[in-house]
Amino acid sequence: MAKKTSQTSPSDNATIHDQKLHRGAGGELHQFAEDGKPVLTTAQGGPVSDDQNTLRLGARGPALIDDFHFREKIFHFDHERIPERVVHARGYGAHGYFETYESLAAYTRADLFQRPGEKTPAFVRFSTVAGSKGSFDLARDVRGFAVKIYTQQGNWDLVGNNIPVFFIQDAIKFPDVIHSVKPEPDKEFPQAQSAHDNFWDFISLTPESMHMIMWVMSDRAIPRSFRFMEGFGVHTFRFVNAADESTFVKFHWKPKLGLQSVAWNEAVKINGADPDFHRRDLWQSIQSGNFPEWELCVQLFDQDFADTFDFDILDPTKIIPEEILPVKPIGRLVLDRMPENFFAETEQVAFMTQNVPPGIDFSNDPLLQGRNFSYLDTQLKRLGGPNFTHLPINAPKCPFHNFQQDGHMAMRNPVGRVNYQPNSWNQGPRESPVQGYRHFPAEEQGAKVRLRPESFADHYSQARQFYISQTPPEQRHIAAALIFELSKVETPVIRERMVSHLFNIDETLASKVGHALGFKSMPKPADAAMPTRQDLEPSPALSIVERGPKRFEGRKLGILVSDGTDAAIFKSLLAEITEQKAAFEVIAPKIGGVTLSDGNWIEAHQMIDGGPSVLYDAVALLPSAEGTGDLLKEATARDFVADAFVHCKYIGYVETALPLMQKAGIADPLDEGVMALAAAKDVPAFIKALGKLRVWGREPSVKLN
């Protein structure tokens, strides 16, 4: 047998000898190599000598089973992914705080609502519902708006959506609606889309979904940004005060920057240009110090209001219009910090509707009751065991004490002898009838049955109210969305059945959809358990356009430049945009940048091939005459201008850009949204006009939908 030779070189010995050991503040041992960097270790803390090669028998021989470092490294890699959420899989989150405006002690004993001006840590996760983790941001979909507030009485999870109603009235139907909207199981497509037979088959057989469908087919389902959408608690909850008196409450998040959505044609192109558009927007706004903000508003009402309201306040497919019961602002949510690690925080965060502090309680909403039962199972499946609350993102920030022990991945166990109560040693925590959670002592009666109350039976009246509350452009978009979605349905009877429901909502809408789908004859209205009410007034609060921001703050201007761009106009744009607390990006033929007319060099944020106008809320066209000549050769430059015009955006232009505009199909007479920038003095009026966001009067002429 050949004599084994040592594989340690002199330099290896020097490395070993040069390692420095230091004790940390807690007594832990830190190892540093000769270059001052920490020594790589295994997960058990053992230092690693070679992270480049597996242990094998000879240079070309088989790998050895006793290579524990390789085994651990590949084992952990193989398990880097936890099961994604069945719903809300694609999400993005941020840290911040909730600040209380005034004491609400008269309504609730919840600690966070007692002291005006107090700030409580919070974490928010926004998400789509139907798509997988790998889907795109601008899917037509409901958006999750889940808020975890780390109160001094435990975590409060307000797990809501950007739409105040839902598809179903009872949680027992939740698996069905989600199965129907997910990729069809035999072919596993379409991804993150509802435009297929299974979804519309379920919806057309489920009249209670009609109100929600109006919202999902509206522009609410394609928001421009997380920062520009509302959030809702959806259900009716209770506030309970120190005297155990109950007040019903519905929760609303109102964005400081107002509401804004995109057009469907625009959403499709954004998904191609930047599938992470919403994520990037939230990241950039927080990193730049423009912290997103929402007001938490409540609708408070008593049992008398509940008894006399036109609809059942326990029905999750219904709203209470703000014109009937105004919202009251009670605090604000500010997001000011991104996670340090996406997986550890945004991916591992666990929301559960049953997480409420003393002073907040549940109603008998059957969807809410089912969610309270379901969410714990979800977290156990995804995060591996009962100790997911030990993860920092899920752990309360207030003191907590219990006798829970052991289990998968336990990080904390009771210390000492006692792990139960009562005990003879008078050790450990005890319940507190005064401070502890007390459910509202509602009196209940009735037989054990499986049925829906008659008060849940009106499925069309609020769907109609939502539709007539929209402005004409928004109504066109709803019709166009229905036409597009149903055009993807391959089974004629499903299309016909769906249009029969639309006749119970609005006859003009139903006829428009039916004609566009090529119906030779219209179906009769679907049978309705209750006739559609015609007396419900429009609610302006339901319209995005009516509730628009009227200012450009928080939005982004795209500035198309070339060598020779007028420096005075360019600099004036930057000054005015900054004054409006908005953002801008420079788009140029080359990413390196351009030389302005005064000889100054400016760097570009995007090149014309990678910065389409769909990424911006308005555009300014500032190329020089020579630059325009070059851009006329670029199809992407034509698309930049044409898309901005077709998407009804405001366009500022210099005279030298006219040939590019003409090539894009913009011809005289120019409308109010196409504004000349002859000199720097014209810039303020242009920037002021941007607050309107869109020129909806242009839409019929460009036939966007």
Residue 405 vs residues 154, 288, 355, 686: alpha-carbon distances, Å? 19, 44, 20, 64
Is 88 known to be catalytic?
yes
Q: What is the pLDDT of residue 347?
A: 97
Q: What stretches in the chain show pLDDT beneath 50?
A: 1-21, 23-24, 26-29
Residue 9 tokens, joined: 């070189």
Q: What is the pLDDT of residue 31?
A: 59
Please tell me the distance from the alpha carbon of residue 404 to that of residue 699, in angstroms, as a whole number: 61
User: 367 - beta bridge partners?
Assistant: none
CATH fold match for the domains 91-174+223-390 and 556-702: no
Residue 644 vs residues 140, 611, 622, 670: alpha-carbon distances, Å? 21, 12, 15, 14
Q: What is the pLDDT of residue 140?
A: 98
Domain 91-174+223-390: give its CATH architecture: Beta Barrel (2.40)
Residue 323 tokens, joined: 């014109």
Contact 613, 558 (CB under 8 A): yes
| Average pLDDT for the chain | 93
168-192 pLDDT tens trace = 999 999 999 999 999 999 999 999 9
Among residues 161, 355, 394, 504, which one is catalytic?
161
Please tell me the distance from the alpha carbon of residue 263 to that of residue 271, in angstroms, as a whole number: 12
445-501 pLDDT tens trace = 888 888 899 999 999 999 999 999 999 999 999 999 999 999 999 999 999 999 999
Please tell me the distance from the alpha carbon of residue 33 to that of residue 15, in angstroms, as a whole number: 7
307-337 pLDDT tens trace = 999 999 999 999 999 999 999 999 999 999 9
Q: What is the pLDDT of residue 704?
A: 60
The 3-state DSSP class for residue 12 equals: helix
User: 621 - beta bridge partners?
Assistant: 560, 653
Q: What is the pLDDT of residue 454?
A: 95
Can you point out the beta strands (E) in 597-676? 601-602, 606-607, 618-621, 651-653, 674-676
As a whole number of Å, the CA-based R_g of the chain is: 30
CB-count exposure of residue 23 (10 Å: 0-12, 13-18, 19+): exposed
The position carrying tokens 């004859």 is: 521
Q: What is the pLDDT of residue 300?
A: 98
Is 161 known to be catalytic?
yes
Residue 100 vs residues 14, 104, 405: alpha-carbon distances, Å? 60, 9, 35
Element (H, E) at 273: helix 264-273
- Taken as a whole, the chain contains a residue count of 705
Q: What is the pLDDT of residue 430?
A: 83
Please tell me the distance from the alpha carbon of residue 319 to that of residue 211, in angstroms, as a whole number: 10
Q: What is the pLDDT of residue 77?
A: 82
Please tell me the distance from the alpha carbon of residue 550 to that of residue 530, in angstroms, as a whole number: 40
Q: What is the pLDDT of residue 44?
A: 78
Q: What is the pLDDT of residue 56?
A: 87
Contact 30, 23 (CB under 8 A): yes
Among residues 69, 88, 235, 501, which one is catalytic?
88
Query: Where are the chain's structural domains?
Result: 91-174+223-390, 556-702
Give the strand pairing for 556-560 and 246-255. unpaired
Q: What is the pLDDT of residue 7?
A: 36
Please tell me the distance from the alpha carbon of residue 553 to that of residue 522, in angstroms, as a whole number: 46
Q: Which of 616, 583, 579, 608 is nearest to 693 (CA)?
A: 616
Please tell me the distance from the alpha carbon of residue 507 to that of residue 505, in angstroms, as a whole number: 7
Q: What is the CATH number of domain 556-702?
A: 3.40.50.880
